Amino acid sequence: MAVLAEPVAAPLKRSSLWSRAFESRHFLGAMFMVPAIAILILFLAYPLALGFWLGMTDTKIGGVGRYIGFANFISLSKDSVFWLSVFNTIFYTVFASIVKFAIGLYLALLLNERLPFKSMVRAIVLLPFVVPTVLSAIAFWWIYDSQFSIISWVLIKAGLLTHYIDFLGDPWNARWSVVLANIWRGVPFVAITLLAGLQTISPSLYEAANLDGATNLQRFRHITLPMLSPIIAVVMTFSVLMTFTDFQLIYTITRGGPINATHLMATLSFQRAITGGNLGEGAAISNAMIPFLVAAILLSFFGLQRSRWQQGGRD
Amino acid sequence: MSSVQIRDVRKSFGNFEVLHGVSIPIEDGQFVVLVGPSGCGKSTLLRMLAGLENITSGTISIGDRVVNNVQPKERDIAMVFQNYALYPHMTVGENMGFSLKLRNAGSDEINKRVKRAAEILALSPLLERYPRQLSGGQRQRVAMGRAIVRDPQVFLFDEPLSNLDAKLRVAMRTEIKELHQRLKTTTVYVTHDQIEAMTMADKIVVMHDGIVEQMGTPLELYDKPENQFVAGFIGSPAMNFLKGHVRVNGVATFEGPNGVKLPLKSAPAGSDGKPVVYGVRPEHFTIADDGADAEIVVVEPTGSETQVFAKVGGEQVVAVFRERHQFNPGDRVKLKPDPTLVHLFDEATGKRM
């Protein structure tokens, strides 16, 4: 019996620890995650932790702070300007978000219809979103100027007013003015996102509802709204978060004035921390925004949980 | 229930006319199937009947009422869509009761009617499910349930079975026909599948390129197709066509390609020497000594019958036999069409002679 070629005894040479590590799924898996984790730590976790830490110190620009516990928060709780900024932020967020949603939904429904020059209209709707915020804020600043305001000028020329409106000099005028600017800026995002949602609704559902005897209003109520609700939840979460943390518009148009009437928590934080040099106090104001934001996120998280009809089949 | 009259209906999209004057009378309680290849205008016609498309000219009436300018929701019709168009956010029960809810029917009334429709369609255990949790056949039944609940004048079906697998399609075919026999509601059913048309219809309307090619009962269309298009469209496998001439020399014969001679029962008057198309259905061939020479190309047994593809005078024809002949590719046989079941068409016009 012929002996088959004897299998060459595999040289059981110990491969190096390094090369063996690279054959292990677990080690490789961890290695591939390193870049992502590094980015998250560097740009998310570290700044957040630093912010938390700063809020608990009395750090000033140019100085090394020391830990003072919740002293910043205690002094803020007695600070009427801080509480005014909390009120302003909530006012700003609630009104701007509601109106942005209403106008955005209206525009989305309009753009979803057969419309002449549809793509052009769509482009125009997107414009406020495309223009850099600071640029549009400066434009609004001029529109609201106490001497050169085009609104006042037109109204006076039309004989509807006798004197210029003091848009940014009066606390309530100023609040409504910045809300309006924020609405103008935020509507395109809501409109375009809701439009994308509308376009996923099958036209045959509307045809079926039409044959079932639904009026336009009933089709909106029974088909459009329920089908759009998941998108509405996402859009409104983003809209609320972006409005609540707004800084650019306010800082460019009013810098928080007059007499802190338009100070949002973000602008107040910046003013105390950078302009005023009290980094610790500014960080504490920023940290005070977190409970509000977490509440908004939790609300949408529970609202976003896929309703039963969206879940897959189970028998 | 009511009759439907479609009179000289035309439809244009811009300058492009897709329906060129279609007239179809539909009697009360009839099951009418509109059948034709894609793009023939059958779905457009159905959508015009539903009110989802405007009527360019002509009239459509349901019962005694011309509905050209009547809103879809006022037409008292129910439609089953190809993709079912079930409302995904409503349960089966809510889907079926939606139209009643919109009409402000009381919840007792809605429950009663939904329950009855669910019983008819065996959907009772599924009433609380959402459409996503249903199989294709179940969704199809819910779509029909939604139509039944309304008890409309007319049912419209737009290719309702084309999303189902072959086996389910056959089962649903029977179910729909049974349902019609039970409810006796006037039904207009659109399909591109001639077998669906043949099996379900009281009356078939064959459409092609925006015109009606022929209307009639399934067997009329099968036995006496008015033109070559209908002859080729109805029946599976499709009818064989051979081009050639009629020769009358004492006995009428058909002279086909490469001198093939095939029998005719009689020659239509004045047809001697005329170019014609000789049509014979695959199931009307027999093996006979006086048949035409044929060379077998492919044999496809399906169990109940055997399809044989063969060359006759250089042209490929298909024959179907219920007997189990032992054929092999390359065999030479004699194929003979039954002369009483042969169709002759004018080659120029395609019309039956």
**What is the per-residue pLDDT across B1-52, written as a single tens digit (0 to 9) for each?**
689 999 999 999 988 999 999 999 999 999 999 999 988 989 999 999 999 9
The answer to whether residue A196 neighbours chain B at the CB level (below 8 Å) is no
Q: What pLDDT, on a 0 to 100 scale, did the predictor assign at position A1?
A: 45
Q: Are B191 and B33 in contact (CB under 8 A)?
A: yes
Of A205, A214, A311, the CB nearest to B102: A214
**A310·B88 Cβ contact <8 A:** yes
CB contact under 8 A, A207 and B81: yes
Q: What is the pLDDT of residue A100?
A: 94
The closest CB to that of A211, out of B78, B132, B134, belongs to B78
| Nearest Cα to Cα of residue B347 among B293, B299, B277, B269 | B277
The pLDDT > 90 percentage for chain B reads 48
State both tokens at A199. Answer: 């376009």
Compute the average pLDDT of residues A118-141.
Answer: 86
What is the phi-psi region of residue B58: left when phi exceeds 0, alpha when psi lies from -120 to 50, beta otherwise?
left
**CA–CA separation, B69 vs B51, rounded Å?**
8
**pLDDT at residue number A304:** 65
d(CA B68, CA B48): 9
Sort out which chain B residues have CB atoms less than 8 A from A222's CB and list them: 87, 98, 102
With beta carbons less than 8 A apart as the criterion, state whether B263 and B300 touch: no
Query: Is the confidence at residue B106, as pLDDT, over 70?
Result: yes
Tell me how far CA of residue B241 lies from CA of B279, B309, B321, B342, in angstroms. Answer: 5, 14, 18, 10
pLDDT band at A43 (very low <50, low <70, confident <90, very high): very high
pLDDT at A158: 84
Per-residue pLDDT band for A86 (boundaries 50, 70, 90) equals very high
Location of structure tokens 């804020």: A137
Report how many Cβ contacts below 8 Å link chain A to chain B. 73
Mutate to test the interface with A, among B13, B43, B62, B98 (most CBs of A within 10 A): B98
Q: A225 to chain B: nearest residue by CA?
A: B89
Contact B98 A205 (CB under 8 A): no
How much is the average pLDDT of A29-44?
Answer: 93
Put simply, the chain B residues between 213 and 252 with a CB less than 8 A from any chain A CB are none
Q: Answer yes or no: is pLDDT of A236 > 50.
A: yes
pLDDT band at residue B228, thresholds of 50, 70 and 90?
very high
Confidence band, pLDDT 50/70/90 cuts, at residue A314: very low
Percentage of the residues of chain A whose pLDDT score is greater than 90: 28
Q: Is residue B342 within 8 Å of B252, Cβ to Cβ?
A: no
Taking contacts as CB-CB distances below 8 angstroms, the residues of chain B near A314 are 133
- The strand pairing partners of B20, in sequence order, are B10
Predicted ipTM beyond 0.85: no
Q: What is the pLDDT of residue A276?
A: 86
User: In chain B, where does DSSP find H-type helix?
Assistant: 42-50, 92-102, 107-120, 136-150, 166-183, 194-200, 218-223, 228-233
> Of the segments A36-40, A204-208, B269-273, which one has the largest average pLDDT value?
A36-40
- For B70-91, the pLDDT digits (tens) are 988 888 899 999 888 999 989 9
pLDDT of residue B250: 77
Residue range A62-71: mean pLDDT, rounded: 84
Phi, psi of B340 (to 5 degrees): -75, -15
* Chain A: residue whose CA lies nearest to B75: A211
- CA pair distance A283, A278, nearest whole angstrom: 9
CB contact under 8 Å between B90 and A311, yes or no, is no
- Whether the pLDDT of residue A40 is over 90: the answer is yes
- The answer on pLDDT for B120 being more than 80 is yes
Which run of H or of E encompasses B21?
strand B16-26
- B255 pLDDT higher than 80: yes
The mean per-residue pLDDT over the stretch B167-187 comes to: 89
pLDDT interval class at A313 (50, 70, 90)? very low
Q: Which of residues 105-144 of B touch A (CB under 8 A)?
A: 130-134
Distance CA A252, CA A272 (A): 17
Q: Is B211 on the interface with A (CB under 8 A)?
A: no
Nearest CA among B100, B180, B197 for reference residue B144: B180
Q: How would residue B151 be classed by pLDDT, with cut points 50, 70 and 90?
A: confident
Mean pLDDT of chain B: 90
| pLDDT range class, residue B227, cuts 50, 70, 90 | very high
> What mean pLDDT comes out for the span B149-165?
89
**Is residue A307 very low, low, confident or very high in pLDDT (cuts 50, 70, 90)?**
low
Q: Inform me whether the C-beta atom of residue A80 falls under 8 Å from chain B C-beta atoms.
A: no
Structure confidence at residue B172 (pLDDT): 87
| pLDDT for residue A129 is more than 90 | no
Most B CBs within 10 Å, among A114, A200, A207, A212, to test the B interface: A212
Q: Which strands make up the sheet holding B332-337, listed edge to edge?
A: B315-321, B306-312, B285-301, B332-337
pLDDT in the model for residue B171:
87
User: The whole model's pTM is what?
Assistant: 0.78
Residues of A in contact with B79 (CB under 8 A): 207-208, 211
**B87 → chain A, closest CA residue:** A205
pLDDT at B296: 92
How close does chain B come to A313, measured CA to CA in Å?
4
Min Cα separation A307/chain B (Å):
9
CA dihedral A76, A80, A86, A88 (to 10 degrees): -150
Task: State which residue of chain B sits closest to A218, comparing Cα positions.
Answer: B102
Q: How far is B274 from chain A (nearest CA, A)?
A: 52
